[in-house]
């Protein structure tokens, strides 16, 4: 089981990863790739976001989605 400091670090790490995946997906929408390659790239990013959300939820509970929304609201893409 993680201590309080380790939990905060893990939450920060997960939120940073979520932000990076979201930015990558957003950039994939405006990138030069077309068709299925573009779709597969964005799908992979969204699947990673789902996995990261599940991990975050296991640490902070139902507050995870609010934390993600706040993180992505501040995202500058």
Tell the residue number behind the tokens 């929304």, with chain if given.
69
Burial of 55 (0-12, 13-18, 19+ CB in 10 A): middle
Number of domains observed in the structure of the chain = 1
Give tens-digit pLDDT for 29-67: 877 666 677 888 889 999 999 999 999 999 999 999 999
What is the pTM assigned to this prediction?
0.81
Task: Give the pLDDT score at 25.
Answer: 87
pLDDT band at 1 (very low <50, low <70, confident <90, very high): low
**For residues 72 and 23, what is the distance between their CA atoms, to the nearest angstrom?**
9
H or E segment to which residue 34 belongs:
none
Is the pLDDT higher at 24 or at 55? 55
Task: Give the pLDDT score at 2.
Answer: 62
Task: Find the domain containing 44 and state its range.
Answer: 4-73
């Amino acid at each position: 089981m993680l201590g309080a400091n380790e939990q905060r670090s893990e939450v920060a790490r997960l939120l940073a990863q979520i932000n990076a995946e979201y930015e990558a997906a957003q950039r994939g929408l405006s990138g030069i790739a077309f068709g299925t390659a573009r779709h597969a790239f964005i799908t992979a990013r969204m699947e990673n976001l789902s996995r990261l959300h599940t991990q975050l939820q296991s640490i902070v509970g139902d507050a995870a989605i609010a934390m993600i929304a706040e993180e992505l609201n501040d995202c500058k893409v």
